[in-house]
A and B are shown apart, each in its own frame.
Chain A
Amino acid sequence: MRSIVNLVVIDSSDSLRPPAFDIMMIIISSLGAALATIQPISEPHVAARIILDPTLFAATIFLALRGSAGIAGLIQRGIMDVYLSYPVSRRSVFLIIYISRVVLPAGTLLVSPLLVAAIVLFPVVSRDPASYIIVFAAYLVQAVMFGSIFLLLGLVARSTGSASVASITVYFAYNITSLLLSIIGTTLRSDSMTSLADAMSFYYMVYRSMLGVEVELWQFLLVPAILLLVILAGYIYFTRRFEPR
């Protein structure tokens, strides 16, 4: 455990390195500030969704560019060699880069505008903080899912440029697929297609259920299932096949 914490300290010095990360934080916090003040948001879960919708986009692009390329750079520059030369298992090193390159940046980028909104809209958010946090958790799951895909791409791509391009491509492909399913589903009046399009956004499913709209169980499980599969694929690749060169 001590090794994991200390290696997270070392790796986060690169993954959360200022000023790029701080600039991103101040931009999305300011956006959160603007969104929280220019409209009369009356309910905590609505506040969380309004603040986090644009933030998720920004956080995901950041993870694609900085996270994925960061991992590829880690391998390119030889720092992965240093990590793997510590008396720490590959399982632990995978966990460390997962925390440092995916969970911490995604969580921090989503939480900072949410904190701003919580202060500005304190009388509203304090009425039901749990629903505010639940919506945040749903967005975090979505961001971490994208981040996990980017991490896997960064490990496989090995070059920073390829990792960024592949990550951005996958991100847009995912969203375009969801959009196309929605359009085609509406045009063909196919409920299953529109339901699948909706289910590709975990936060939307959680939000809709909070509005009282019926959401099927599989729609809740789709994104977490993708997340688990990608983590498993990354874990198996890193612990059994990955070789820094």
Chain B
Amino acid sequence: MEKIVVVSEVWKRFGKVQALQGVSLEVNKGAIVGLLGPNGAGKTTLLRIILGLMRRDRGLVELQGRDPYRDPRSRHGVGVVFERPVLPESLPVKELLMAAARIHGTSKDQVDEAIAESGLEGHEWKPFNALSAGLKQRAAIAHALVSDPVLLIADEPTSNLDPLERAKILNLLVELNARRGLTVLVSSHVVSEVLRVSQELVIMSRGRVRLRGPPEEVLGGLNIVRVRTSDPESLWKLLSSAGFEARVSGLNVELDVDGAHGKLFKVLSAAASQGLTIYSVDFVEAGLENVIGGEDA
């Protein structure tokens, strides 16, 4: 299997903070890899190093077989969606996309296709700063797609969106992967999102890769779950009626999922649709506390 991203033993320090500690990772061509971890786990730093935006202190990084920090050709055909959808503000989006396409050496047709695929049609002549949050994210995705990418790197692409927009963006990633064979490396701190799209999961915490593999394999080893919610009693009832043995502790509900992760997320989705706020879902394992958190419904 051809590897499009290779990260080996990468270290990065910001002052006194050791952001990455010997991170290793590989992304196969055509895969959707989800990078999961709480805020501050080092996901964004890792993606920036993969893109060559930052230097690494130690280790090896290859993007399409080249060192991304030294060789800009490594970013040919790489689309990027940043956490905050930011593009130059006053230029009409289509003009910006045309200029970006010329930089990537792609055609005007690619621009039209990117606009259509991202669902930006009808808004492409507006300046970026005149778009709503959802449309801004779509413009950022269209911007990533004008490069006719073989790899899409998306750093928390849904973090500022409402649930409906989130679903649309995630569906688009899956669709692009299926239709174009696009490789996707997507980071998030929201478990259900990453589970929904990823074929492979990488769990990071405190600058290290803690677990790696297919989602069922990775989550299969994480059975003790702590859910923080606005209404623990109601959630306990829902979980109990679904057959889980759960106990309430303050605002937390703790349970042993015993491999039934999919069932748990169905219950949580149902709870969210009933108006419960899920603040976080933490997988608690010996020596691996708070690996994942921050599902907010």
Contacts and interface: CB of A to CB of B under 8 A. Distances in A.
Interface of A: 2-3, 6-7, 9-11, 13-14, 17, 77-79, 81-82, 84-90, 92, 243-244
Interface in B130-157: 143
Interface in B81-104: 82, 84, 86-91, 95-96, 99-100, 102-104
A13 B90 contact: yes
Contacts of B104: 86-87
A14 B88 contact: yes
8 contacts: A10-B91, A10-B96, A11-B88, A13-B95, A77-B86, A81-B48, A82-B82, A84-B51
Given A6-B99, A86-B104, 15 more contacts: A2-B102, A13-B90, A13-B95, A14-B90, A77-B86, A78-B84, A79-B86, A81-B86, A82-B80, A82-B86, A85-B51, A86-B72, A87-B104, A90-B72, A244-B53
Interface string B35-57: 00000000000001001111100
Nearest to A240: B55
Given A11-B88, A13-B91, A77-B86, A89 B72 contact: yes
A89 B74 CA distance: 10
B103 A85 contact: no
Given A17-B90, A243-B53, A86 B99 contact: no
B38 to A, nearest CB: 19
B72 A78 contact: no
A77 B87 CA distance: 9
Contact of A85 (B73, B75, B90, B105): B75
Interface string B45-79: 00010011111000000000000000011111010
A1 B51 CA distance: 22
Which of B52, B86, B89, B90 is most buried by chain A, counting CB atoms within 10 A of its CB? B86
B75 to A, nearest CB: 4
Given A87-B75, A87-B76, A81 B103 contact: no
A22 to B, nearest CB: 13
Contacts of A11: 88
Nearest to A76: B86
A110 B17 CA distance: 47
Contacts of B48: 81
Nearest to B69: A90
A27 to B, nearest CB: 21
A90 B53 CA distance: 9
A2 B103 contact: yes
Q: Which 10 A-B pairs have the closest CB atoms?
A: A13-B91, A78-B86, A87-B75, A85-B80, A6-B99, A6-B102, A87-B76, A89-B72, A3-B103, A243-B54
Contacts of B91: 10, 13
Nearest to B91: A13
A204 to B, nearest CB: 37
A87 B73 contact: yes
Contacts of A90: 72
B117 to A, nearest CB: 19
A89 to B, nearest CB: 5
Contacts of A82: 80, 82, 86-88, 143
B53 A88 contact: no
Contacts of A3: 102-103
A86 B53 contact: no
A10 B100 contact: yes
B89 A85 contact: no
Contacts of A85: 51, 53, 75, 78, 80
A98 B53 CA distance: 19
Contacts of A77: 86
Contacts of B51: 84-85
Contacts of A243: 53-55
A89 B99 CA distance: 17
Contact of A86 (B54, B75, B82): B75
Contacts of A13: 88, 90-91, 95-96
A181 B94 CA distance: 54
A7 B103 contact: yes
B103 A84 contact: no
Nearest to A241: B55
Given A6-B99, A84-B52, A78 B82 contact: yes
Contact of A79 (B55, B76, B87, B102): B87
Nearest to B77: A87
Contacts of B87: 79, 82
Contacts of A92: 72
